[in-house]
Structure 1
């Protein structure tokens, strides 16, 4: 069992007008409702640079320690912990919810303080610092247990043969799982994923396959990435986003009936034609999952939407229950990680190499993940 040192190294953001700084701070202390975790590696989202230089204008307190989802090992637990124990391997889920208001007060640890007074209280107080640090204090319920023997054990001994770096792909898969699960994607159904050529879109294609989709239609502009996705399975088809709504709709309808449209549009895709063409191609009673980052309004074909009995659901991130279910899919070997599913770690960087990490994450391929190793 690892003992806690008095101090540890962290990356700290003082202001969005200044570069991140490497600092030595006291190691946090455990207490009721939390655990102290040694961070083994933490994921870097593709737009990290734009978050911490202020370009995306995400609200968060300063100074604070940035970060995201991570893989870690429990070092100490609070007095009310009943199942988590020191030495245990865990996935650190950055979606932190208020225990007395889990649907209204939500933050993304190290990224954004949310949009309510309650969520701001969470990030300005107890859960201010995140995973770009050697140690972190984290809520017990956000430490998702991982079956280390099953996941990392050798295949000839009943394990899955993964390395620790492979496990961070859980973070990328959880986002589309939240949306696809919320709209009830069923085995055998056909789902459109658009845009599918980015990191979360590519993960959504893989997630839909693992959930039993009969066919996944990957939409995107990057033809090379679409070809890479189609090579993963004969259940994947591709349709290019051309900017011509009619052409796209006609191409999609070749795969009718289409049950679900999963949208993961980035902010710059607010004017993309894929949104309307995918909706137009849905069957009667089709469902739409919204998980993208578009800030403006998007028009809907009102009469067609009503007469075809379509339904739409927005999902921000995922629930703890969904996290537990997804990890179970991985542990059972039903959802593959690493090279087995076209994933790779595009780079591992120390805390002092954060600038290189952000640059690499910005340019990473759809199946790549970049990590910081404290």
Structure 2
């Protein structure tokens, strides 16, 4: 274990005192490691497309204040508690945002995003694991640090740490696709596919060996998506479908592609009334599966019963999904460089610009991060 004296007494962090005041860079005490925890020196902190809506109050998410913002990140272990047996100072790690109560895994929350839905998650988010990754240092549960083979990823495969931050988007659809047991060779509809998580879902499904039908309203972005995937994964089997908004028309268009085994939905809240998921489910084969990770309303009809279809809700992903994803990444199953991601990077004192950029720089291969 690294001596805690190796850590600075204070560090810089982006602190949100109130919604009205917004973020400001402040000097705060550096946390110290204890049993079950690690202190991580943050290298890149991910910014998602709706971070701005969370921290300006538009989404109405509940979280304690004051708070250091953020979500998942990539960093290096700075110090570990006395019960760490694998993690050690200097290691490159993925810091994951999904925190579970150790004595009740069903009690969970997303770091510095939402306090969760029960008393246990609210206690942990307020009293124990309060602050996020928009900082130079972050205290993290040991089980939320995932070792990355830096030599393999950065030397042999040529990823930069910034490029690896695209895991922020890819892990979410990977969790949904694993939950419905997508198999190589199957056909999956990704809808909508033109946003951050949807675009990443297309890349993940292709890398898992599936045939992908990408649905979206923006024809220009659909074309860019297809070109991006084909360039990074030559031979990828990908089709695109423009949503018309008419349930029957879109269902017929999908059915023309033949057997559809699975659907993953990643609809944002503002599109909750869209009929695209209803159309995709209508096109599913008998016994087909659907991962519902978004906010679409009104999707259940007699067809689900008649066709023995399975609709599964899924929040984020499980620990074993992260472990498997990292293995796939280290085996070279994903594209590299700009064939995977084109990042935009900001400093802490450019927080407003970072949040604004993340809201606009969306779609496959695009991500934003704050670099302490």
Q: Tell me the TM-score range normalised by the shorter chain.
A: over 0.9
- The equivalent residue for 2:60 is 57
Q: Residue 369 of structure 1 is aligned with which of 357, 364, 367?
A: 367
Query: Aligned residue for 1:114?
Result: 116
Q: CA deviation at 1:337?
A: 4.3
- Give the gaps of 5 or more residues in structure 2: 231-235
Looking at structure 1, the residues matched to 335 and 117 of structure 2 have their Cα atoms a distance apart, in angstroms, of 34
* TM-score, structure 1 normalization: 0.95
Q: CA deviation at 1:245?
A: 1.3
Q: Does 1:288 align with 2:290?
A: yes
**Structure 2 match to 1:344:** 342
| RMSD, matched Cα | 1.2
Is the 2:286–2:309 contact (alpha carbons within 8 Å) kept by the matching residues of 1?
yes
Change (3 A) 1:64 1:309: same
* Aligned equivalent of 2:180, options 183, 189, 200: 183
**Partner Cα separation in structure 2 for residue 97 and residue 212 of structure 1:** 31
1:225 and 2:221 aligned: yes
SS in 2 for 1:32: coil
The aligned length equals: 362
1:1-374 matched pairs, under 5 angstroms: 3-103=6-106, 105-153=107-155, 159-213=156-210, 215-231=211-227, 232-233=229-230, 234-294=236-296, 297-301=297-301, 303-341=302-340, 343-345=341-343, 347-366=344-363, 367-374=365-372
* Alignment check: 8 A CA contact 1:167 1:337 kept: no
CA–CA distance in structure 1, aligned partners of residues 12 and 24 of structure 2: 10
Distance 2:56 2:305 in 1: 43
User: Residue 285 of structure 1 aligns to a residue in which SS?
Assistant: coil
Q: SS at 1:330's partner residue?
A: helix
Does the residue aligned with 1:165 lie in a helix, a strand or coil?
Answer: helix
Q: Please state whether the residue corresponding to 1:79 is helix, strand or coil.
A: coil
Q: Give the distance between the partners of 2:337 and 2:255, measured in 1 at CA.
A: 33
Local SS of the residue matching 2:6:
coil
Task: Give the drift of 1:338.
Answer: 3.6
Measure how far apart 1:299 and its partner are: 4.2
Shift of 1:38: 0.3
User: By how many angstroms is 1:35 displaced?
Assistant: 0.4
Distance 1:189 1:9 in 2: 48
Deviation at 1:335, TM superposition (A): 2.4
| Alignment TM-score, normalising by the size of structure 2 | 0.95
Deviation at 1:307, TM superposition (A): 1.1
Cα deviation code 1:95-149 (max 9, x no counterpart): 111111112x111111111111111011011100110000001000000100000
Separation in 1, partners of 2:346, 2:6: 24
| Residue aligning to 2:233 | none
| TM superposition shift of 1:190 | 0.2
Q: Distance in 2 between matches of 1:299 and 1:180?
A: 19
Report runs of 4+ in structure 1 exceeding 2 Å deviation: 335-338
- Which segment is superposed worse, 330-339 or 22-31? 330-339
SS at match of 2:32: coil
Deviation for aligned residue 1:254: 1.2
CA distance in 1, matches of 2:321, 2:62: 26
Relative to 1, partners in 2 of residues 1:337 and 1:124: Cα closer, same or farther, differing over 3 Å? farther
